[in-house]
Structure 1
Amino acid sequence: MARLFVVRHGNTFDAGDVVTRVGGRTDLPLSSSGHRQAGALAAHFAETRITAALASPLERTRATARAILGARTDAPALLIRSFLREIDYGPDENRPEAAVVARLGDAALKAWDEDGTPPEGWIVDPPAIRAGWAALLKDISTLAHDANILVVTSNGTARFLPDVVDAAPDGLDRKLKTGAWGEIDVTSARTEIRAWNQRP
């Protein structure tokens, strides 16, 4: 049985910063707390042999992945996959969260959080993201039973992974927190989320 570890990058804001909705057009680096989260992830996965590692093109995901891979001398090269890039929040890109709520309303954001329904104006293709995850799971299912695949991405992309697995825990919150990971068992016959929103 192969395993897929899906990790959300570390923080891009620190306490006291004005938090904005950062999407695929805003390539922020990790903040100080984000680097600490990446370090905690590296310590957690230090004993896990990573067979392959993928990240989105964004610096925050690449930096988090590099921290995890840097904890081992036998780490694979980091591969960049465009389908893992964060979504584009359209007119809400890099705007303070209060302004986003004021424009869209609570109901639209609740539908996004609970069902993955994109609010008006956001540039996101859920079927394409789901297809990317499904293709990756299919590829992983052909690997050796002890393969461990690391994927570092963002919340807007990670939230669609639960839609394409065969089994997930009841009541799973599709939003993946910063510096958190999920673990998916992958075989040729079945995919199952074993853990989600775990932090070191």
Structure 2
Amino acid sequence: MGELLLIRHGETEWSRTGRHTGRTDLPLTAAGEHQALTLARPLAARRITHVLCSPLQRAVRTAELSLPRGKGVVLEPGLMEWDYGAYEGLTTDRIQQERPGWDLWRDGVPTGGPERPGETLEQVGERCDKVLARAVAALEQSGGDVALFAHGHVLRTLTARWLGRPPGDGGLYRLDTATLSTLGREHTRPVITGWNIPP
């Protein structure tokens, strides 16, 4: 069986400045587009049979720039980033001015009203479980690799769930922009086979 390839999108203005970017649909910066292009070489060395991608443009554009033309990309809403509610667009330092010691993985986010209701960590974990079920079915069917283009926090949560850990364990795995990580199995045990690898 192949591996799950986790690709975090390239740099955006908000990722560069450390602002929580959930559902705000930002484009890649020029540096982010360059980062995405540099992913093409390591991805070309893999036998990718399926591609699932967050519908947000920063992930879609990263997939477009790093995959060969004609590679079918399926938009997967379950790979959208965490809805940060009222904390959308804020940095951790800014949030901690009002909530000293605040930690996303432990404390979550408050609602931001009807347009940004926010999500609990458990809700993000449930989305990841559904994506994993679909991705594993594709792995078993094809024998090749399945690429997932998405965002930092959702991919970290997905990794925790792959390992059979609670969603909050995603906080243990740092994930930079435009990096490749791989999930596979050792015998039958789900494992991390590569992590946060720059192109």
Using structure 1 for the length normalisation, give the TM-score.
0.79
Looking at structure 2, the residues matched to 21 and 54 of structure 1 have their Cα atoms a distance apart, in angstroms, of 23
Amino acid aligned to 1:174: Y
Whole-Å Cα distance in 1 between the matches of residues 17 and 134 of structure 2? 40
C-alpha displacement at 1:124, in angstroms? Answer: 1.8
- Which residue matches 2:6? 6
Question: What is the CA RMSD across the aligned residues, in angstroms?
Answer: 2.9
C-alpha distance in 1 between matches for 2:174 and 2:56: 19
- Show CA shifts across 1:123-157 (max 9, x none): 12323332333333334444246311110111121
Q: Secondary structure at the match of 1:108?
A: coil
- Does the C-alpha gap of structure 1 residues 11 and 178 become closer, same or farther in structure 2, counting only changes over 3 Å? same
Q: What per-residue deviation string (whole Å, max 9, x for no partner) do you get for residues 148-194 of structure 1?
A: 111011112112123222379xxx93231111121011599432111
- Contiguous gaps of at least 5 residues in structure 1: none
Question: Alpha carbons of 1:87 and 1:190: their partners in 2 closer, same or farther (altered >3 Å)?
Answer: same
**Could you say which residue in structure 2 is the equivalent of 1:108?**
102
Q: Which structure has greater helix proportion?
A: 2
> What is aligned with 1:91?
86
2:148 to 151, 160, 174: 151
Contact 2:9 2:58 in 1 (8 A): yes
Tell me which of 84, 106, 111 is aligned to 1:117. 106
SS at 1:51's partner residue?
strand
Aligned to 1:160: 157
Change (3 A) 1:187 1:137: farther
In the other structure, the counterpart of 2:60 is 62
Which one of 30, 33, 42 corresponds to residue 31 of structure 2? 33
Point out the more displaced range, 42-51 or 60-69: 42-51
User: Which structure 2 residues correspond to residues 43-54 of structure 1 after superposition, within 5 A?
Assistant: 43-54=41-52
TM-score by length of 2: 0.79
**Are 1:82 and 2:81 an aligned pair?**
no
Which segments of 5 or more consecutive residues in structure 2 lack a partner in the other structure? 112-117, 166-170
The letter of the residue matching 2:32 is G
Q: Tell me how far apart the structure 2 counterparts of residues 65 and 101 of structure 1 sit (CA, whole Å).
A: 34
- Whole-Å separation in 1 of the counterparts to 2:148 and 2:186: 17
* Matched AA of 1:164: R
Report the Cα offset of residue 47 of structure 1: 2.0
Structure 1 residues 65, 51: closer, same or farther in 2, change over 3 A? Answer: same
% identity of equivalent residues: 24
Aligned letter for 1:34? G
Partner of 1:134: 129
1:141–1:125 distance in 2 versus 1, CA, 3 Å: same
Q: Do 1:13 and 1:33's aligned partners in 2 also have CA atoms closer than 8 Å?
A: no
